[in-house]
Amino acid sequence: MNNPIRVVVADDQNISRAFFEMYVRANPGYRLLAALRTAREAVEYVNAHEADLLILDVMMRDGIDGLTAAAEIKRRHPEIRIILTTSALESTWEDRARAIGVEGFWYKEYEVHSLIEIMNRVMNGETVYPSAPPDPNLGNTKRSDLTDRELEVLRELTGGLTNEEIADKLNVTVFTIKRHIQNMLQKTGYKNRLDLAINAKTLGLVVSEEERTRGNAADPYTGK
C-alpha cells in the first residue's frame, strides 16, 4: 500500500485554514502534517520535516508573504510541490508563481475546479493554473475591459499613492495618470478616484507590491 501524501497548509485566516485541514483529512490518500498561521512557519517547518505538498496562501498579515515563502522553499526543496491560494484577484501573481516553479494556483472563491482535484493533478505531475483569471465586475465594467496600463495605475492607486507618486513610479507624466484614472471612472461609473480605489481594493482586483509584502502595515484608506 502506498504511503499517504504528506501535506502542510499555511493560511492566516482561521476559516480558510480549517477548510484546507478538512479537505486534506477527508481524503485518505493524504496526511496532514501541520496547519500553520504564517508563511515563515511553513518555511521553517519544511526545513525541519519531510513534506510532499504545501498549500500556501499568498497574502499573509504577519511576516513574509506566500510568494516569497514559495520562492525560498523551491530554492531549498525543489521536490516539494506547492499550490498557492488566494482570495484576491491579482492575476500578476500567477506569472510570479510560474517563474518560481509553483505547480498549482487556486482562486479560493472563483475557481471552477475543487481543491482536491488540483491536489490530485499536481501530485500526478501536472502544473495546474486557471485557463484565465477571474473577470468580475468593477462598477459598470469588467476587469477585462480595463487595459494593462489602467490596471497598473489602479494597483498603485489602491496602495494609497498620489497621482504624482504613481507618475514617478511608472515613469510617466501626472497628466497621463489623470487621464488613465478618468478613463477608469468613465468605464466603472464611480464618482471619484477614492471610490474607484476603495471598490477595487475591497474586491481584491489588484494588490500593490507594497501591500503584498508589508505584513501588518495599516491600510492607507481605513487606517486599520
pLDDT for res 214: 67
Averaged over 184-201, what is the pLDDT? Answer: 95
CATH of the domain at 30: 3.40.50.2300
Question: Are 141 and 115 members of one domain?
Answer: no
Give the Cα separation of 32 and 116 in Å (integer): 13
Residue 219 lies in a domain: no
* N- to C-terminal Cα separation, the chain: 51
Averaged over 184-190, what is the pLDDT? Answer: 96
> In terms of pLDDT, which residue wins out, 57 or 109?
57
Residue 104 lies in a domain: yes
Strands 30-36, 53-57: pairing is: unpaired
Averaged over 127-138, what is the pLDDT? Answer: 88
pLDDT band per the 50, 70, 90 thresholds, residue 210: confident
Give the Cα separation of 13 and 50 in Å (integer): 25
Question: Are 34 and 94 members of one domain?
Answer: yes
* pLDDT over 90 at 152, yes or no: yes
> In terms of pLDDT, which residue wins out, 70 or 202?
70
pLDDT for res 197: 94
What's the whole-number average pLDDT of the chain? 90
Residue 224 lies in a domain: no
pLDDT band per the 50, 70, 90 thresholds, residue 1: very low
Residue 220 lies in a domain: no
pLDDT for res 20: 92
Give the Cα separation of 6 and 181 in Å (integer): 48
Structural domain ending residue among the three candidates 73, 89, 123? 123
Question: Are 110 and 146 members of one domain?
Answer: no
pLDDT for res 170: 94
* pLDDT over 70 at 223, yes or no: no
Size of the chain, expressed as the number of residues it contains: 224
CATH of the domain at 165: 1.10.10.10
Question: Are 9 and 68 members of one domain?
Answer: yes
Could you read off the pLDDT of 50-101 as tens digits, one per residue? Answer: 999 999 999 987 779 999 999 999 999 999 999 999 988 888 899 999 999 9
Averaged over 122-149, what is the pLDDT? Answer: 92
pTM of the entire structure? 0.84
Residue 221 lies in a domain: no
Question: Are 100 and 145 members of one domain?
Answer: no
Question: Are 118 and 141 members of one domain?
Answer: no
Query: Which residues span the domain enclosing 25?
Result: 5-123
Q: Dihedrals φ, ψ of 138, to 5°? A: -125, 100
pLDDT for res 216: 37
pLDDT for res 123: 97
Could you read off the pLDDT of 12-44 as tens digits, one per residue? Answer: 999 999 999 998 999 989 999 999 999 999 999
* pLDDT over 80 at 221, yes or no: no
128: CB partners within 8 A, 6+ apart:
83, 103, 104, 105, 113, 118, 121, 122
